[in-house]
Structure 1
Amino acid sequence: MAVLHNRISNKELKQQLMEEKEKRATISFYNYFHIADPKHFRDYLYTNLYQLKVFGRIYVAHEGINAQVSVPESNFEAFKAFLYSIEPLNNLRLNIAVDDDGKSFWVLKIKVRNKIVADGITDDSFDMRNKGRYVNAQQMNELLHDPETIVIDMRNHYEFEVGHFVKALEVPSDTFREQLPMAADMLHGKEDKNIIMYCTGGIRCEKASAYMLHKGFKNVFHLEGGIINYAKQVKQAGLESKFIGKNFVFDDRLGERITDDVIAHCHHCGKPCDTHRNCKNDGCHLLFIQCDDCAEMYDGCCSTACKETLHMPVEKQKEIRKGVDKGQNIFNKSKARLRPRIKDRQEH
């Protein structure tokens, strides 16, 4: 019987990854296309990718696929050949990480979802086939020189905070489903302006461009392949990077550096810093920015309360966090959630 799920503990798998000698590449890709039977497609993917020792996180839905994976270098061509053998994925652009040690994932997880990007759209007339025009790195830079161009960042606050394009506007929300109507409201009355949407790898801004056209905006563009592909093209063509700072990524790296600019600040001491960490308290795991000095002072925790919990006996810690869902915190760093941490910093 084919293997369809992981059967080894995460601890063992992570250990095996650390002991691997072969280099891995971290790759992201997505495509909007109709999948009649997502469960069958999911199992087909798992069976083949497991054999190629692919690790990562893949979401499958009726509307398409969204994937972030790591692949052993010796299996890269076989991996690409398998993907391209699937007709809608033939010649699909693969975004290869620019700042990577290949240790981003240690297990393969493929999940069936209602959508590959949760958008909150319920209008049946919305059509992803009617989307904005792609722009590459050179075209992006040219459009940015135009003072009439409006650039919209379709990522979350914690992503924007450590890196973004010059002139970019942040949509102040913690979820993509909230950002879509907010972006349309922000730009009301500017339906004829050039509007560029961008995100990490292209999946969110592609849907956002279709949404804006759906709402009556006329000149909508989106950055092909997102920041990841932009950084690659800038490097290859020797262009000036109009993206400054770090590109946040959703794996163990928590970021890949695009330029040397550090535009964020430590949430404890306030000095320049763009290193994201997850609070070491297993009952918290909040994502936040912390410099090395504060990481040592707080033992990698987000507050003195979490630091105190971290040093309690293990059984006491388990008792405290019983019934607490920490899953939301790992990639949640809204301004509202940070207020207690800022207060904690001021009191100490």
Structure 2
Amino acid sequence: MALHNRISRKELKERILKDTTPRTTISFYCYFRITDPAAYRNGLYRAFSAIGVLGRIYIAAEGINAQVSVPTANLEQLRIVLNEVPALNGLRLNIAVDDDGKSFYVLDIKVREKIVADGIDDPDFDMARKGKYVNAGEFNNLTNDPETIVIDMRNHYEFEVGHFENAIEIPSDTFRDQLPMAVDMMQEHMDKNIIMYCTGGIRCEKASAYMLHRGFKNVYHLEGGIINYVNQVKEEKLSNKFHGKNFVFDQRLGERITEEVIARCHQCGKPADTHVNCVNDACHLLFIQCEECRKQYDNCCSTGCQEFIHLPEEQQKEMRKGVDLGRNVFNKSRSRLKDLIK
């Protein structure tokens, strides 16, 4: 069988939108040694394809990072595939909180240098020495102490739509930039209890190890991240300290945790927390847009993009040549919208 997708993504997306098969969205990760990432990737692709898994998976010598959708009836087969690797036997699987089963429409498994790009090049850094896990109940108890510091290790656009009470934002676009920033920001609190969190646990686990590596003493990280926390809170009927929406990196772009809307539309400033991508294929800016602005700007981020999408298709294609979108994400500190919206 082919070890990569050969069908157009547009067709695959149309298929999954029409498919009525119940599917479950799951995320998981594990830091463990993989001696031959490429071989492991190929074997996993075969196994996952056979049971209908879709999603985005990164494989590296340091482990695996996965966000997937699987037919609900095949959940047990997914566990069997994972359990074949000793390090993954019994691995915690984070079940999505707010799931429509349409989170992914293709299976992408890629070999990377690292499963989380961290910028760490210190040969003495060791993931084996990481912070202490805390579950939802322990997190709530520790954060009841006003001296406990809670650090959000997600990107600014994730923090904007939802976060824990009294959490500190590390204002950056990338995890690799956040690590040294967190160390610098916390220099006066070396001996305090520090709890780090992220979406599913993978970033805050590495961040906790980095903080210990840099001399901090009492570092914790939320086991399974926000997703696992919210599920535990529901199951155990605990107080929920997360407010707003949990941003996720799939077609949903967010899981509704509470009904509070703590962000604002990037175009008009009204309360809103729905992330969208500008429909202009030469832009695709990720930003927050309310329903009124969606209609006013035809799903675009600006009048410039709105005018662009109404040009003849051939003219659009010609103008898109050579365009490198890179990380095209709205950032208040360097807003494109302020200049483009008239």
| d(CA) in 1 for partners of 2:318, 2:262 | 39
Contact 1:281 1:306 in 2 (8 A): yes
Measured against aligned partners, the alpha-carbon deviations of 1:227-260 in whole angstroms (never above 9, x if no partner) come to 0000100111111210100000000100001111
Q: Is structure 2 residue 317 aligned with structure 1 residue 318?
A: yes
Q: Is structure 2 residue 342 aligned with structure 1 residue 342?
A: no
| d(CA) in 2 for partners of 1:63, 1:275 | 34
Residue 243 of structure 1 corresponds to 242
Give the AA of the match of 1:261: E
Residue 4 of structure 2 corresponds to 5
Measured against aligned partners, the alpha-carbon deviations of 1:183-202 in whole angstroms (never above 9, x if no partner) come to 00000021100000000000
Measured against aligned partners, the alpha-carbon deviations of 1:130-189 in whole angstroms (never above 9, x if no partner) come to 000000011111111101000100000100000000110000111100000000000002
Give the AA of the match of 2:290: C
> Deviation at 1:328?
2.2
Residue 189 of structure 2 corresponds to 190
| d(CA) in 1 for partners of 2:130, 2:232 | 22
> Deviation at 1:11?
1.6
Aligned pairs for 1:1-348 within 5 A = 2-329=1-328, 332-338=329-335, 340-345=336-341, 348=342
Unaligned runs of 5+ residues in structure 1 are none
Give the AA of the match of 1:45: L
| d(CA) in 1 for partners of 2:167, 2:333 | 22
Q: Secondary structure at the match of 1:119?
A: coil
| d(CA) in 1 for partners of 2:170, 2:264 | 20
| d(CA) in 2 for partners of 1:314, 1:169 | 45
> Deviation at 1:327?
4.5
Q: Secondary structure at the match of 1:92?
A: coil
> Deviation at 1:9?
1.2
> Deviation at 1:99?
0.2
TM-score by length of 2: 0.98
> Deviation at 1:333?
2.6
| d(CA) in 2 for partners of 1:265, 1:271 | 5
Contact 1:57 1:69 in 2 (8 A): yes
| d(CA) in 2 for partners of 1:324, 1:44 | 36
Q: Secondary structure at the match of 2:123?
A: coil
Give the AA of the match of 1:334: N
Contact 1:157 1:333 in 2 (8 A): no
Measured against aligned partners, the alpha-carbon deviations of 1:264-293 in whole angstroms (never above 9, x if no partner) come to 000111110000010010000000000000
Contact 1:151 1:195 in 2 (8 A): yes
Give the AA of the match of 2:87: P
> Given the superposition, is the C-alpha separation of residues 205 and 123 from structure 1 closer, same or farther in structure 2, using an over 3 Å criterion?
same
Unaligned runs of 5+ residues in structure 2 are none
Measured against aligned partners, the alpha-carbon deviations of 1:75-94 in whole angstroms (never above 9, x if no partner) come to 11111111112111000000
Question: Which stretch has the larger CA shift, 287-296 or 79-88?
Answer: 79-88
Q: CA RMSD in A?
A: 1.0
Q: Secondary structure at the match of 1:236?
A: helix
Matched residues, percent identical? 65
| d(CA) in 2 for partners of 1:234, 1:305 | 45
> Deviation at 1:344?
3.9
Q: Secondary structure at the match of 2:205?
A: helix
| d(CA) in 2 for partners of 1:153, 1:166 | 11
Give the AA of the match of 2:142: L
> Deviation at 1:7?
1.5
| d(CA) in 2 for partners of 1:273, 1:334 | 16
Q: Secondary structure at the match of 1:189?
A: helix
| d(CA) in 1 for partners of 2:277, 2:190 | 40
| d(CA) in 2 for partners of 1:85, 1:184 | 38
